[in-house]
Structures are given as C-alpha cells and as structure tokens.
Chain A
Amino acid sequence: MEDAQSDLVQGTLDMLVLKTLALEPMHGWGITERIRQISRNVFHVKQGSLYPALQRLQRKGWIEAEWRMTENNRRARYYIITATGRRQLGVERESWERAVTAVNRILRAAPAPG
C-alpha cells in the first residue's frame, strides 16, 4: 500500500487535511480514506504523520476536536475546521498554486538557443 510518490511535505499534509475537513467534519481514519480516495490512491497518509499533524493543527487553532457518535453508534473523535482554519486553507492554496505554476514554467522551459 506504500506509495513512492506519497512523500508529503509537512505543509502539504496540513493543507490536505484542512481541505478534507473543509468538506465535512471527519475522524482520523476517515481523513486517510478520503485523501486516498480523492487522490485516486496516489497519496496514502501515514498514521504516524496524521495524528501529530492533527494535534499541531489544533494547537494552531485551525481545527477543533469533538467526540461524536458514528453512524454505527460508536464513539469517535471528529475534527472540525474553524474559521481561522478556512482562512488558512485559502492562504495555503494560493501559495501552493503559485508554486505549482512556477514549477511548471521551469519544467516546460525550452533550452536556450545556442
């Protein structure tokens, strides 16, 4: 199940988690699953990175945690994005897109004549 391409930089992981939670509140396992599904099995978030990241995002005040009952009537810790979290997501997405555009330009650059 390990994916070679899944070396997620920390900042990127934070952004993906925020984006996932922006769709709906979710518990830890749900977040991994959702990221895997949406990325069509490209990104597999390791638990060893996920839970510290969730703790970090809470500390920064971007998400909040809350114990809820699942549809199968079991207790699970759900994470909810906060207003600051949404703003942060916007910021990160913007800088991500700038970075992607820049990288793409470099990769498509034609060799200089001469």
Chain B
Amino acid sequence: MGLLKKVRDRLFALLRKDDFERELSEELRYHIEKETEKNVRAGMSPDEARRAANHDFGHVESMKEDVRDETGVRPFEELLRDVHYGFRTLRRSRGFAIAVVLTLALGIGANTAIFTVVDTVLLRPLPYRDADELSLLWGRMSETEVSKAPWSGADLLDFRDRSEAFQEFAGASGFNSTLTGDFDALPIQLGFATTNFFDVLGVAPVAGRTFEESDYLGLSQDELFGPDATPPTGVAVLSHELWMRQFGGDPSIIGQTMQVNAAPVEIIGVAPPGFRLYLPADAAMPKEIDAWSAIPMDFSTQSRDQQWLTIVGRLTPGTSHEQAQSEMDGIAAQLRQENQFHENVGMEIDVVPMQADVVGHAKPVLLALLGAVGFVLLIACANVGNLLLVRGQSRAREMAIRTALGGRRGRLVRQMLTESAILAALGGLAGLAIAWFGVDILLALRPDNLPRVDEIGMNSSVLAFAAGATLLAAFLFGLIPALQASRPDVIDSLRERGHSVGRRLRRLHNGLVVTEVALSLVLLVGAGLMLRTFFELSQVRPGFVAENALTVNVTVPFFKYQGEGEKAAFHAQLRDRIEALPGVKAVGAVTPLPLAGGGQFWFGPWALTEDEEEWSRNEADYRPALEGVFEAMGTRLLAGRPIQQADNRPDASPVVVIDEKMADRAWPDEEAIGKQILIMRPAMEAGSQWERYWAEVVGVVEHVRYDDLRSDGREIIYIPHANWSFADLNYVIRTSVDPASLGASVRSIIREADPDIPASTVRPLGEYVSEALAPTRFAMILIWVFAGVALFLSAVGLYGVISYSVRQRTHEIGVRMALGAERPKILRLVLGQGLTLTGAGLLVGLVGAAALARLISSLLFGVSSTDPVTYGLIAILLGGVAALACYVPAARATRVDPLMALRTD
C-alpha cells in the first residue's frame, strides 16, 4: 500500500470517526446476538444465553479501545487533542500566555524586520544578467592615498586591449545637466556611457532601443566645445522614472529630439524600471541617472589624468574575481611603466565584485544590527524559558498526580511540548505582524545611503526566516519544560507541596537570568558606544555653520555663455539679485558643497616650483568659488582677505584662498599670504585642455570637512570661479530668517535670470550635515531600541525569578521572622540573591562586550571599543535597573506576616 493511500485512509478514518464507532458497535452487537442464538440452540434460556454470551465476550469498551489502537489514526487524534487541550490550558492562564507570546513576538518581529532589510540589501543579487560576473574597477593612487578613483578614456581602451579575464568593459559618468524641450527646463542627471554599457550589464530596454556602436560620435574637443561648435544630434535612453514622471509613459516620445545642455539629443529608448548603475556610496558618479547618452567625444585621445569614467567589467565565464585582480595587477604595472601620470601617482587597479562593492559600506551596520536583534531573540527565549519553568513548577503537582494516575510520561512531555509549540506559533504570527510594521519604521529611519531600499519588501525568504526563527525559539524554550517533566520525582513533587525548588531547577533559573543580564549588557555597551559616537560626531565643527543657510544648485547650460567673461557676468548679476532679497545676510557660491558627496574628486595638482616631479606628487581639493562664500558658509577667515568680486573678472590677476591645512603643508614655518602657488585651470585657448598658472595666496581660512564628518580630508584651494568656470555652482545664502522661507523667491530670481536654468535643488545647508549623521543615527537609534527591549526583558526576567523565589520561600521567611530576623535582614537576604545573579551576569557581559565590541569598531568615532567610561556607566545603569527589579519582590518579602506564612503550611 502506497504511503499516500495510507495517509489518505487514516485521514479519512479520522474524519469518519463517528461512522467508525457506530459500525464497530453494530458489529459487536451482531456478534453477541449470534453467540446468544447459539447458546439458545444449545438449550439455555434466553436470559441465560445472553448473559453467557456477554460474559464470554469480555469487556466491550476495552476491546473497542484495542480496535481503535489498530486503526493507526491515534497519533493524529492525540495531536488534535493535545492542541485542543493546550489551547484550553493557555486560555486558563491568559496572563502567562500573553507574556510569552508578546515576548516572542518582539524577538521574532525585530529579527524578521532586520532580516528583511539584510536580505534585500546584502543577499539578493543585483538586477543584472549574471550579476556575479560583474566587477567595478577603481584606481588607487598609492602615492596620494586616493582610492575609488575613476579612469581616463585611454585607460579604458588599454583595459579592453590587454585583459583576457574580462570579456568586456563599459565606462560611464554622470553630470548635472538641463533637459529642455517644449516644457519647463528640467534639471537632470545625465549619464554618459560607452555604447556597450547596456549590453555589458545585460539589460534590455522596455521601449525603443539602447545604444548601438554607431551612436559613438567620436567628436574632437574643438568640434564639441570650440567657439563655433555646432554639435551633431546625440542619442539618449531615458530612465523609466523620468519617462513616467515627465512624459507620462508616452511611447511616442521615442524618436523626438530635445536639448540636453542646449545640444540636440534624440530619445531612442527607455530603460527598465529601477534600472541604475549600482555604485558604492563613496563613488564620485551620481547614483540616480535620469537619462543615458552615448559619450559623444573621442575619449581615446584624452590625457591620463582626466579621470572621469567609472568602469564596470564583465568577467569571462569561468574566471574568478581573484584571477582578474592578479591579471589587472600586471596590467597596472605595465601602465605605470608606459605613462608618467600612472608612475607619478603609483596607480593600482582594484577589482571589486560589484555586489560586494555596492553594499560594502552598509554591511557593518546591518551585520551589527542583525547581531543585536539575534541577542534580543536569545534574551526573549531565555525569558520565556524562565516563565515556562515557573509555570512548570506550579504545575508540578498536576503533572505528578497525572503520572500517579497512570498518565504516560511521554504523553505528558508531549503535552508540554505542544503547549510550547502553540506559544511559538502564536508568537511567530504576531512577530510577522510586528515585522510588517517594523520594516516601514526602518525605512522611515533609514539613512539615504542605504543601497537598494526601494526594493525592500517581504518575500518568501523572509517568511522562511521568520519560520526558522520561530522553530528555533520553540526548540530553545520547548526544551526546558520537557527536561523538567522528565524528572523522575513524582513522590518528591507530591511531598514538596511546592515549598522548595529543586537544586537543579534553581540552577537552571539562575543560569537563564545570568545569561539574560550578560546579553543585555553586551547590547547596552554597543548602544552606549554608538551614543558616544553620535555625540562626538555632532560636536565636530565641520568648518562651517550649518544653521540658517540655504543652498541652491545653479547649473548653467553647458553650451550657453561660452564667450569670454559671459559666465562671470551672469553669476555676478545673479549673486547681486539674491543678495538684495530681504532676510539675506550674505551670499556666495562654491562647488561642490561640503558633505554633499563626490567632493574628493574635485582635486588637482599644485607646486611651489616649476619642478615636474613636485607638480605630479602634490594633490589638493580645488574649490571654484564666488565672492562672499566664506561669510555665507560661516567659515572663519584666519588671515588675509577673502575672494572678492574683482577676483572673478576675466582680466583680474589670479589669486587663491587656501585653508589652514594647505598653509601648514606648503609653508609650515612661514606666512602664506603673498606667496605664489602653481595650479591649473581649463585652457582658455582652443587646442590645449589644461594650462598651469601662478596664483597669489591672498587669504587663509579654516579647514572644512568636505567628505564626511569622521575624517579630516585633504588640503583645500579656493579658486575664483572665473578660473574654473565650466563648473556648476552651489549658491550658499546665509539668512536672518528661516532659510526654507526664501526658497520660492530664490527660485523665481533664477528663473528670471535664465529660464533654461533649472533650480530645483534648493536645500538648507543643515540637511547635508544631518545626512552625514544619518547612518550613525540610524544604527544608534536601532541599537538603543534593541538594547532597551533587552533591558526591559531582563528586568522582567529578574523580577520574575526573584518574586517566584520569594513566593517559594514564604514559609522559610516566616520562620526566620518568627525567630527574630529584622526586616532589613530579610531585605538584604532577598536583594542579595538578585544582586549576586546580576553581578555574575555583569561580569560575563563585560568580558563578552569587550570581545564583541571590536566587531563594531568601524562604526565608532571618537571613542574606543573598550572605553572604560562607557562600560562603567552602562554596568551601573543595568545594575540599577536590576536592583530595582529585585527590590520590588524583596520589599514584598519583608511584609510577610509570620503567622500567615506558617499557617499556609
């Protein structure tokens, strides 16, 4: 008989239980009647015959039971009965059940919520074809400590020619741009990519087509940027989001021509929804690209130090990232030999698996959070275990009686396990509900640089995780009552009358409480360290004043204002008009904004002599700026004068303002003001790309942290915008009123000045600071939430164990008091018990915290992972809460009435 049929028959038998019973009775009745008839035929009287038949038959009910046993459906029936009985007992002790289910729900819910995020961000492959074959290739300049640098076009071509480990390389970059057509000028991020870009990623368009090789125009610098250039029509693939947002998903948009930065572009296709080039948070390239264009200029002739292409490579099948890395190491060595620039900066090639690179910075935070919620689940299990122990103890008599009455031990254990399983299942369900909301809360709290958040959602692997966590929880705390029920001490339990707890049991209780306290301490120490970190970070002076300042990005269309001095004139009048607004105290402009990302790639060489060697070794951040920028930013002027309007005239003699770090580096023992420094700027004449020029240092300002709050960053040279005029500018407006209130009027001034300029990125300067703090705040808030839950749970656990112990020792306490023990002595007795447990937990926890805190040291700032102050304060906090949790039952113990206590015996 097949297994399926067996199962079906038994289920069927289970469903037909009433029929079965009726038929069995009828069959047996028939048997007795036949027997009676036979007896009558043998000469008995009818009564006698029936009695004999009945007697002969034996005990009908016990025989029916034997028949039922043979049907093979008993295990199912018993399970149903256990579940039914379990629910009934749990309903009777509702408080206990609610406590257990809530505790578990908190543990499982928090774990599932965090796992949902981890699953999407860290585990799910990137949405490209065979995404594990993709690598990002970054430049690392060992001489200047710059890493994650993009490449020049010539580098890309060399990679293509020389690498065997990669089948193909694509390059891409992105710029603030303006899209114009028969609609308002639209600020967009324009991506420039090689024509194989979509093919390398393995992404097909949802409408139209992607690039073809013939889309590469290969224009020279002059054809594109020269004074009389009329660029031919390029091509662009819109992002799905821009297509929907701006054009309502209209397919007829394909084939139309629009202007990007005042140059004509034909729309050829639409990328799939959510498509992007995934990049690590510290990459220079913009993450959200609205339209992709094929690179129009001939990039093969660009010089090596024009690093602007992010390169993604697809491995030849069967090649590992490690093999690719060692091959690229060889190619890097060749390139250093062949190119002066590579040699000077010590250029290395880093091959990073794309997925690992994209999520790299989020990983430590998420893993720390996953660890923290794991602790919460363990604490929850320990707590539930304790609750079950206490409950099991108070049910010991019930169990003992049932055993004495012949209840099989295995049956009783199974009953207990069923109860645990019911609790775990309810806890798991409630946990899923908590996770459902928890994910939303997480997303609301998340920092902006958490990758792939828009893809986060519950899915089957999350459900599997929740189920797994539930099973683990059921197993962990299901063990305890099972262990307890298997103790062979029926007589003891009956005799004990619930007075003293068995030594083994007490040890189990204590062990659980010590574990809880220790785990909570580890979590709290982590939370404490994160709090210190957050505090230290907020105390950092970034080199500017974030409050009461508004920023607005002004991107002048690339091909407008090409003539000599036109851009400077435009900005001069725009600046004046903004300054005239009521409520404006100062206006300036700079690119990029501090803490806005990408700042590390606005850099250039400098030297104090004409020596070529010196020129290629020194790097500093270049910051094109308009006058008034230091006043508007709140950056302190330390010596000399700031940039003035006259410096931005085309005929002005070149000057720079440097920061204190630059002054220390270039002239450690001298006054920097009045010195000359050699720097570079885009060539003023056609034909060459860059030119070097000497500029006079006219001022020194305080250092500004451009990259992030945690690190100091590089030396800075502020250059009048006239000498670096192709850049977009970020106006910074210091206000005497709420900065946000000026947004609308600033926008309208810009629109009046030039309707082709989009001005949608209007943000208070403070937002960049709080964004820089956001990842730390995110981790800190969550770790505190988890640590808080842990603290609460262990306080409840401690309270439970001490109260239980007081209840058990009421008699003993009564005797002690009757014999003259003072109340303080009783208080000390009970408190002592709780504090010993707490102390043990604290000790274990301190050791564990010291070992585990090292794992989060990459998240910390301004505090060591073994900071004794934090450890001490946290131990005191936990100790205090624990003492409070013990004090309540201890105080109750002192109110024991000796007479009553002795009488209850």
A residues contacting B by CB (< 8 A) are: 1, 27-29, 33, 46-48, 51-53, 55-56, 59-61, 67, 74-77
Contact = CB atoms under 8 A, between A and B. Distances in A.
9 contacts: A27-B31, A47-B31, A51-B66, A52-B66, A52-B70, A59-B70, A59-B72, A61-B1, A67-B23
Given A29-B31, A52-B67, 8 more contacts: A28-B31, A33-B38, A47-B58, A48-B62, A51-B67, A52-B63, A55-B71, A75-B26
A28 B27 contact: yes
Interface string B1-32: 10000000100000000000001101110110
A60 B26 CA distance: 23
Nearest to A59: B72
A77 B20 CA distance: 12
B30 A27 contact: yes
Contacts of A59: 9, 70-72
B47 interface: no
B41 interface: no
B71 A48 contact: no
B602 interface: no
B70 A55 contact: yes
B56 interface: yes
B66 A48 contact: yes
B771 interface: no
A51 B72 contact: no
Contacts of A51: 24, 27-28, 63, 66-67
A29 B24 CA distance: 13
Nearest to A61: B1
Nearest to B66: A52
B96 interface: no
B132 interface: no
A59 B9 CA distance: 9
Contacts of A29: 30-31, 34-35
A52 B57 contact: no
B67 to A, nearest CB: 5
B1 A60 contact: yes
Nearest to B70: A55
Nearest to A27: B30
A74 B27 CA distance: 11
Contact of B67 (A55, A61, A76, A77): A55
B158 interface: no
A2 to B, nearest CB: 9
A55 B24 CA distance: 10
B69 interface: yes
Interface string B47-74: 0000000001111001100110111100
B63 A47 contact: yes
A51 B65 CA distance: 11
Contacts of A1: 56
Contacts of A47: 28, 31, 56-58, 63
Contact of B30 (A46, A56, A76): A76
Contacts, number: 56
A28 B70 CA distance: 16
A108 to B, nearest CB: 38
A77 to B, nearest CB: 5
Interface of B: 1, 9, 23-24, 26-28, 30-31, 34-35, 38, 56-59, 62-63, 66-67, 69-72
Contacts of A46: 58
Contacts of A77: 23, 26-27, 30
A37 to B, nearest CB: 12
B391 to A, nearest CB: 39
A28 B35 CA distance: 11
Contacts of A60: 1
Contacts of A74: 30
Contacts of B28: 47, 51
Q: Which of A28, A51, A74 has the most CB of B within 10 A?
A: A51
Contact of A52 (B31, B38, B69): B69
A29 to B, nearest CB: 4
The 5 closest A-B pairs by CB, nearest first: A55-B70, A29-B34, A52-B66, A61-B1, A56-B70
Contacts of A61: 1
A59 B38 CA distance: 31
A50 to B, nearest CB: 9
Contacts of B30: 27-29, 74-77
Contacts of A76: 27, 30
B51 to A, nearest CB: 14
Contacts of B69: 52
A31 to B, nearest CB: 10
A28 B32 CA distance: 10
B56 to A, nearest CB: 7
A67 B24 CA distance: 12
A53 B71 CA distance: 10
A98 B892 CA distance: 79
A29 B28 CA distance: 9
Contacts of B62: 48
B27 A48 contact: no
Nearest to B24: A51
Nearest to B58: A48
A22 B67 CA distance: 22
A96 to B, nearest CB: 22
A102 to B, nearest CB: 30
Contacts of A75: 26, 30
A73 to B, nearest CB: 13
Q: Which of A33, A53, A55, A74 has the most CB of B within 10 A?
A: A55
Q: Which of B26, B57, B66 has the most CB of A within 10 A?
A: B66
Contacts of B1: 60-61
A25 to B, nearest CB: 14
B70 A48 contact: no
Contacts of B72: 59
A65 to B, nearest CB: 9
Contacts of B35: 29
A65 B57 CA distance: 21
Contacts of B34: 29
A76 B38 CA distance: 16
A76 B71 CA distance: 20
Nearest to A60: B1
Q: Which of B26, B38, B59, B67 has the most CB of A within 10 A?
A: B67
B76 to A, nearest CB: 14
Contacts of B59: 48
B524 to A, nearest CB: 59
A7 to B, nearest CB: 16
Contacts of A52: 63, 66-67, 69-70
A3 B660 CA distance: 115
B830 to A, nearest CB: 59
Contacts of B63: 47-48, 51-52
Nearest to B9: A59
A65 B35 CA distance: 21
Contacts of B27: 27-28, 51, 76-77
Q: Which of A1, A53, A76 has the most CB of B within 10 A?
A: A76
A14 B488 CA distance: 39
A76 to B, nearest CB: 5
A52 B626 CA distance: 100
Contacts of B23: 67, 77
A88 to B, nearest CB: 12
Contacts of A28: 27, 30-31
Contacts of A53: 70
Nearest to B71: A55
A74 to B, nearest CB: 7
A13 to B, nearest CB: 13
B61 to A, nearest CB: 11
